[in-house]
A and B are shown apart, each in its own frame.
Chain A
Amino acid sequence: MKKIYDSAAEALDGILFDGMLIAAGGFGLCGIPELLIDAIKEAGTKNLTVASNNAGVDDFGLGVLLQTKQVKKMMSSYVGENAEFMRQYLSGELELEFNPQGTLAERMRAGGSGIPGFYTKTGVGTQIAEGKEVKQFHGEDYILEEGIFADLSIVKAWKADDTGNLVFRKTARNFNPPAAMCGKICVAEVEEIVPRGSLDPDHIHLPGIYVHRLIQGEHEKRIEKVTTRAKEDA
């Protein structure tokens, strides 16, 4: 089966529908599926629920789908870098479901692994626990969290082979593998597609079974906070 598509728009053709749940990889602006996000903007799909650790910045990443008001609800752990997000949320235009970061990652991993729910200590005794089942294990309280089953996963990797095996680079891996796992369909964008056999099978980070469609493209890879140190005098 052919997995490689010529463009993000073609790779998303026939998959998008209003009101769908999308799981997106990335942490801050690092390892985000920027080409697929732009293509969803162009497609104009509305009332989206997006599970993603962050919401991008105003003009990059998921922020562009907020600008166009295509997002109805975000499931995130931290949205602090986006002024438009804050405005829409405080005015009631945008729903927000805060998830502790590890809970969000595990909800994706669980959903992709056929696990509809799991118990965690994270958030016990906080707002996050409100309305959730509490169960004791070994004398301690845990709350029930549900796996995420997304309609679509959009992820970014460094390299792929034509069968969809993915390799990530440094901390750009982050949420991409769990996000990829939890979607009915996963579309991945990569910096380079290489022929099968050129990636060491022992070094594959995410097997191609999780990846249905692939595109290669140029990535801006914007840095959110450039921090450096001075070179010491020789």
Chain B
Amino acid sequence: MPWDRNQMAARAAEELEDGMYVNLGIGIPTLVANYVGDKDITLQSENGMLGMGPFPFEGEEDPDLINAGKQTITELSRTSYFDSAMSFGMIRGGKIAAAILGAMEVAENGDLANWMIPGKLVKGMGGAMDLVAGVGRVVVVMDHQNKAGESKVLKECTLPLTGKGVVDRIITNLGVLDVVEGGLKIVECAEGVTEEELRNATEATIV
């Protein structure tokens, strides 16, 4: 059985270490916060906050307190606020240890595409290009294949890039792969997924 969204998020949470400042993207990456357990992790929201707390209780939403996905959130005792220039200063400046992001496509050289489908989807890159260029480690969490069953882990991205050679680790519903010299290296398979199944579902070169 491949991993479901929550299992992928739980696996991604294992990437985080005590004391890290981390940025989580929208979608499955947001769920990672539910699995950090006792680890001392500070979540950054790139609209200007360190120490992001959980969603508020009903009736306690504050229009001045949202995350980068524009959802209402809460603050913690450690929280600090700052403006967008400083927020991206800490991202670009390498102060954020890791970003866990979703993707449309990843390539074996670490290229990432997650912001645009030409002629179809024109929403924008938001902070994704800054994050992948600046943070210490980029972990991508995504489904291994698209709805048509085609691999999203490719030799080369077909969509416009978010960053070139920026991905360190890929966590999919089928397993975990690292970007290494010459291609991707299998780190582990999801429970019940064989290495052969993982290879067959992957277009990229596995070394």
Interface of A with B (CB < 8 Å)?
Answer: 27-31, 53, 76-81, 86, 89-90, 96, 98, 100-106, 108-109, 120-128, 158, 168-178, 205, 221-231
- A125 near B164: Cβ-Cβ < 8 Å: yes
- A122 near B92: Cβ-Cβ < 8 Å: yes
Interface of B with A (CB < 8 Å)?
Answer: 45-49, 54-58, 60-67, 69-73, 75, 81-85, 87-89, 91-92, 122-130, 133-134, 160-165
Contact A78:B66 (CB < 8 A) given known A105-B85, A223-B61, A228-B58: no
3 closest residue pairs by CB, A with B:
A102-B88, A125-B164, A80-B123
CB distance from A97 to the nearest CB of B (A): 11
Distance A16 CA – B22 CA, assembled complex (angstroms): 42
- B61 near A174: Cβ-Cβ < 8 Å: no
Distance A38 CA – B7 CA, assembled complex (angstroms): 47
Contact A122:B130 (CB < 8 A) given known A30-B66, A221-B63, A225-B72: yes
CB distance from A81 to the nearest CB of B (A): 8
CB distance from B79 to the nearest CB of A (A): 9
Contact A174:B164 (CB < 8 A) given known A78-B124, A223-B61, A228-B72: no
SS class, residues of chain B in contact with chain A = loop
- B57 near A101: Cβ-Cβ < 8 Å: no
CB distance from A51 to the nearest CB of B (A): 12
Contact A102:B57 (CB < 8 A) given known A90-B122, A171-B66: no
Which residues of chain B are near A222, meaning CB under 8 Å?
63
Residue of A nearest to B47 (CB): A27
Per a CB cutoff under 8 Å, which of A77, A100, A106, A205 touches B85? A106
Per a CB cutoff under 8 Å, which of B49, B58, B92, B127 touches A77? B127
Distance A221 CA – B62 CA, assembled complex (angstroms): 9
Per a CB cutoff under 8 Å, which of B49, B128, B161 touches A171? B49
Distance A102 CA – B65 CA, assembled complex (angstroms): 20
